[in-house]
Structure formats: structure tokens, C-alpha cells
Amino acid sequence: MGMVVHVDNSDFFRKLVKTFLGGFGHESFGFSRGEDALDKIMANEVDYVITGLELADMSGEDFIKQLVLYANTVPIIVVTSKDEGVQNTTLNDLGVKAVIQKSGDWKVELKEKMASIIAESDD
């Protein structure tokens, strides 16, 4: 279906997301460091980027700012444990398609958001 780059400081959560996305036919590459993820994105055609807000080498916001400079058409979805609404305005201004809380039903929300992004691109 698509190539996904997932950046999160939690190895456990990256594995959960990889398994979840694999069940829907997505190829997923996980990174703890934003710089490593940016290298992968620059070298490959990526369909989605999923990121947390706490990365091993930079903040999620800084990662998104750098990503937008280099690949501003890649849909970005944030999955975070930070309080809802704290960063939404800034993230929306950066072009983030969705902010999903880990404490909620993130799998359902992620699947729905990815489907809506596909539908938008078909229009």
C-alpha cells in the first residue's frame, strides 16, 4: 500500500506501529532519531510520516520543521502521549494532518486518518 517512516523515541511503540501498519500492507521503517528518519525520507519516496513529539536527538516539532523544508508534500501524522491540545495550533500551522493521542484508541484513529489522506489525494 505505502511506505511509512515512523519516528518515536520508544522502541516498543515503533514495533507496535510497524506490526499494526504491516497488517494493512504498509511497509514501515522506524527510527528513534529525526536525523536518521530525514536521511531515509530524502533517499526514498515516502507516502506517510508518523512522528512522536519526543525523539532521541531533537523535538518532534523541530523534526517536522526540517521535514517540511525538504519534503513538504509528505502527509505528517503526530502520535503522542503529550496532553491533547497543547501543541495542536503550532502543529496544524506546520501542515500536520492529524494529532492522535496514544492514550486513546490510536489504532482506529490512525487507520481512519490514513484512509482519509488517501481519499484526499484521489480527489
Domain ranges of the chain: 3-122
Domain 3-122 in CATH 3.40.50.2300? The answer is: yes
Query: In sequence order, what are the beta bridge partners of 98?
Result: 77
What are 100-121's pLDDT values in tens digits? 988 889 999 999 999 898 787 6
Work out the burial of residue 77: count CB atoms within 10 Å of its CB; fewer than 13 is exposed, 13-18 middle, 19 or more buried. Answer: buried
What are 32-67's pLDDT values in tens digits? 999 999 999 999 899 999 999 999 999 999 999 999
Strand order from edge to edge, sheet including 98-101: 27-31, 3-7, 48-51, 76-80, 98-101
pLDDT, mean over the chain = 89
Say what the pLDDT of residue 121 is. 67
This prediction's pTM: 0.91
